[in-house]
């Protein structure tokens, strides 16, 4: 019935809380509090400093837009497949696990590649492109000019999950790297960066759920999917533009430095 999912989630949350109480050691918090009283609170940075760079703002924008894409079809996919294919609510619910399952499988792979030295901006460009590709497949919209089908919906949701994994882990890594350049890399800064990332993801999810439902009511399924594809295209262009601007700035600065060194000679 209607109450079962809520009861299940509540029981699982209570179970996780009990596990946390048994596993986490309260003496570590007491020790940290005692050290803070002795040394005084250390303020290593602020949100204003962290958000003062274009790279951090761009990462926030990518996170918001990706968060929008994760919730965009949550209110509209079930009524769409019910009217289009005559599916029951249970059958429709199976489609919602595709993007999440793909996301869970791909995220460790992307994280491993980033640890090996893969550039975050490359991940974001391809991630935004893949999400755009997935939503055009979900629509379906050009270049996918074929009749809607359940296979098309499933594949589109899976492709979307891959792009989600790339963008979410890519933005978090980029934020962490950028914060290390602006402030000391300590636990406080990492917590602040994580809070910024979660806030952007939650804001995007709120906007996506509200706007996705409204777009479905006003424009229909295909047009609403094309809107997300357009947003991801804009983000992809912004990431590439920022990347090129950084390369030009680095080249200009190195050229000026060489001229100054030449004058000293």
Which residue is associated with the tokens 């029951």? 88
Which residue is associated with the tokens 């990706």? 66
Contacting residues for 205 by C-beta, under 8 A, at least 6 apart: 67, 68, 70, 71
pLDDT at 40: 56
- Environment class of 196 (CB within 10 Å of its CB; exposed 0-12, middle 13-18, buried 19+): buried
- Count of other CB atoms within 10 angstroms of residue 211: 18
Picking from 212, 246, 252, the residue whose alpha carbon sits closest to that of residue 80 is 212
Contact status, residue 67 vs residue 204, Cβ threshold 8 Å: yes
Instruction: Kindly list the distances between the CA atom of residue 95 and the CA atoms of 77, 170, 232, in Å, as whole numbers in the listed order.
Output: 9, 25, 22
> Where do the H-state alpha helices sit in 40-149?
47-50, 54-71, 77-85, 89-115, 120-138
Quick one: tokens of 98? Answer: 């595709």
The model's pTM:
0.82
pLDDT at 186: 67
Ranges of beta strands (E only) in the chain are none
The four Cα atoms 234, 240, 246, 250 give a dihedral, to 10 degrees, of -160
**What residues in the chain have per-residue pLDDT under 50?**
262
CA angle centred on 183, ends 181 and 184, rounded to 5°: 100
DSSP annotation of 118 reads: -
What is the distance between the alpha carbons of residues 254 and 246, in angstroms, rounded to a whole number? 12
Quick one: tokens of 13? Answer: 């949350």
Greatest CA separation for the chain? 82
């Amino acid at each position: 019935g209607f109450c079962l999912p809520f009861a299940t989630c509540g029981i699982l949350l209570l179970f996780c809380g009990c596990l946390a109480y048994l596993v986490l050691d309260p003496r570590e918090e007491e020790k940290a509090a005692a050290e803070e009283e002795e040394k005084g609170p250390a303020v290593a940075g602020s949100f204003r400093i962290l958000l003062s760079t274009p790279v951090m703002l761009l990462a926030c924008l990518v996170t918001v837009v990706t968060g929008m894409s994760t919730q965009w079809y949550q209110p509209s996919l079930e009524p769409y497949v019910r009217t289009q294919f005559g599916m029951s609510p249970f059958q429709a619910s199976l489609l919602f696990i595709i993007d999440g399952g793909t996301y869970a499988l791909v995220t460790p792979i992307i994280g491993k590649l980033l640890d090996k030295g893969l550039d975050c901006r490359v991940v974001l460009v391809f991630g935004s492109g893949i999400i755009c590709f997935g939503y055009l497949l979900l629509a379906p919209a050009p270049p996918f000019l074929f009749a809607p089908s359940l296979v098309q919906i499933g594949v589109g949701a899976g492709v979307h999950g891959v792009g989600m994994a790339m963008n979410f882990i890519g933005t978090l890594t980029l934020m962490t790297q950028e914060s290390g350049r602006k402030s000391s890399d300590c636990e406080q800064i990492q917590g602040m960066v994580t809070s910024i990332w979660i806030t952007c993801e939650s804001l995007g999810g709120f906007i996506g759920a509200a706007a996705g439902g409204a777009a479905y009511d006003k424009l229909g399924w295909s047009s609403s999917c094309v809107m997300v594809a357009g947003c991801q295209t804009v983000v992809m262009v912004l990431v590439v533009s920022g990347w090129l601007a950084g390369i030009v700035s680095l080249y200009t600065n190195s050229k000026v430095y060489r001229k100054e060194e030449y004058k000293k000679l």
